[in-house]
Amino acid sequence: MTVKQSLIEKFISLVDQYDRIIIHRHINPDPDAIGSQLGLKAIIENNFPDKTVLTAGKLGKGIEWLGRMDTVERRDYEDALVIVLDTPIFERIDGNDRIQNNALIKIDHHLVVEHFADLEIVEIASSSTAELITKMVINSQGQLILSPQAATYLYAGIVGDTGRFLHSNTSQATFEAVAYLMSHQADNTQINRKMNELSLNELKFQSFAIDQIELFENGVAAMTLKQVDLIQRGITVDGTNAVTNLPGRLKEVLTWVIFIEKEDSHGEYRARIRSKGPNIHQVAIQFNGGGHEMASGANIYDDEEKKDLVDQMIKVNAQFLKDQSK
Ligand code: AMP
């Protein structure tokens, strides 16, 4: 899979025209959001040493080990180029209120929801935004050169979004991108070790989370994590990432959802929806969400909606099982 040469040329030409470049990504950042943001910053700095490159947005707890964000002032946006990574919806950009009349580039691997940038480089076949950026470097015919640090950040993004090459978004192109990053001294051991580390509280929380798994018809599983459960066990919302894939390990489970009660919300949930086959993106968009066919997120406002979401998943699975038996 190659990124069109004309898009890479346009990207380089736009970057070339601006002295200051501000890189944004989505709220609730994961390793792909941060890895691609810091990786792209390092690539631009390496190839255009005269430019100022700033990374914008808040860093959640549990991901600080990957790197730091810059302090970005409102006045920095004057005459700056803004690059938005890993975000298909303008509203989900962390710090979007700062972006006014800036020239905008979007680089993303999510299903397209809206067009908001002057240049959009989108490839949903890429496992991650980090994989897509790596392909841009590979296809740039030597115009973009990777430093070992940039390669390490991008490696973290790919490992994060593929669940360590376990998810079905992992392709031949993913491994080619990783091979390229390794040939540029990506520190895979450091990243793998960091991503595998848990605190004692987080490890103990896994057994609590397993007890919360509920099974429904047609291979649906759900887990509800209340704020009080998290607080009592010293777990942050980001710390719940490590339990997201537990229900999917059950043989009989096809799709699953983790409901995480939002802080200070009394009954509003962020839903993490995952699949081993059925397209759950169609369910997520009915509940104020989006993402990918096999991994999406949504917002749930009360217990009734929670039940509705599970019911929709049961329906989607029923259709999937019917189609498979044909
Ligand atoms: P998460 O469950 O937060 O790990 O997210 C899984 C995927 O769904 C990621 O690609 C997110 O960017 C996307 N996603 C999560 N929540 C939302 C939402 N409320 N709206 C749109 N996309 C979302």
Asked if 131 and 173 count as a contact pair (C-beta separation under 8 A), the reply is: yes
Q: Is the CB of 291 under 6 A from ligand 1?
A: yes
* pLDDT per residue rounded down to tens, the chain (326 residues): 578 899 999 999 999 999 999 999 999 999 999 999 999 999 999 999 999 999 999 997 788 999 999 999 999 999 999 999 999 999 999 999 999 999 999 999 999 989 999 999 999 999 999 999 999 999 999 999 999 999 999 999 999 999 999 999 999 999 999 999 999 999 999 999 999 999 999 999 999 999 999 999 999 999 999 999 999 999 988 889 999 999 999 999 999 999 999 988 888 999 999 999 999 999 999 999 999 999 999 999 999 999 999 999 999 999 999 999 98
Q: Which residues contact 189 (CB under 8 A, 6 or more apart)?
A: none
What gap in Å lies between CA 94 and CA 323, rounded to an integer?
39
Q: Is the CB of 297 under 6 A from ligand 1?
A: yes
Question: Which atom of ligand 1 has the smallest separation from the CA of 258?
Answer: 2
* Reported pTM: 0.92
Lookup: tokens for 41: 């910053």
CA 50–ligand 1 middle distance (angstroms): 35
Closest CA to 188 of 173, 202, 177, 199: 177
CA 284–ligand 1 middle distance (angstroms): 9
CA 63–ligand 1 middle distance (angstroms): 17
Q: Is the CB of 298 under 6 A from ligand 1?
A: yes
What gap in Å lies between CA 83 and CA 315, rounded to an integer?
39
- The β-bridge relationship of strands 220-225 and 214-216 is antiparallel
Lookup: tokens for 183: 């040939």
Domains of the chain and CATH, by start: 5-195 (3.90.1640.10), 202-324 (3.10.310.30)
CA 38–ligand 1 middle distance (angstroms): 20
Q: Is the CB of 295 under 6 A from ligand 1?
A: yes
Q: Which residues contact 249 (CB under 8 A, 6 or more apart)?
A: none
SS3 readout for the chain: CCCCHHHHHHHHHHHHHCCEEEEEEECCCCHHHHHHHHHHHHHHHHHCCCCEEEECCCCCCCCHHHCCCCCCCHHHHCCCEEEEECCCCHHHECCHHHCCCCEEEEEECCCCCCCCCCEEEECCCCCCHHHHHHHHHHCCCCCCCCCHHHHHHHHHHHHHHCCCCCCCCCCHHHHHHHHHHHHCCCCHHHHHHHHHCCCHHHHHHHHHHHHCCEEEHHHEEEEEECHHHHHHCCCCCHHHHHHCCCHHHCCCCCEEEEEEECCCCCCCEEEEEEECCCCCHHHHHHHCCEECCCEEEEEECCHHHHHHHHHHHHHHHHHHHHHHHC
CA 277–ligand 1 middle distance (angstroms): 18
What gap in Å lies between CA 20 and CA 52, rounded to an integer?
5
Question: Which atom of ligand 1 has the smallest separation from the CA of 110?
Answer: 10
Q: Which residues contact 6 (CB under 8 A, 6 or more apart)?
A: none
Question: Which atom of ligand 1 has the smallest separation from the CA of 86?
Answer: 12
Note the pLDDT of residue 61.
77
Burial (0-12, 13-18, 19+ Cβ within 10 Å), 154: buried
Note the pLDDT of residue 238.
82
CA 217–ligand 1 middle distance (angstroms): 25
Question: Which atom of ligand 1 has the smallest separation from the CA of 296?
Answer: 8
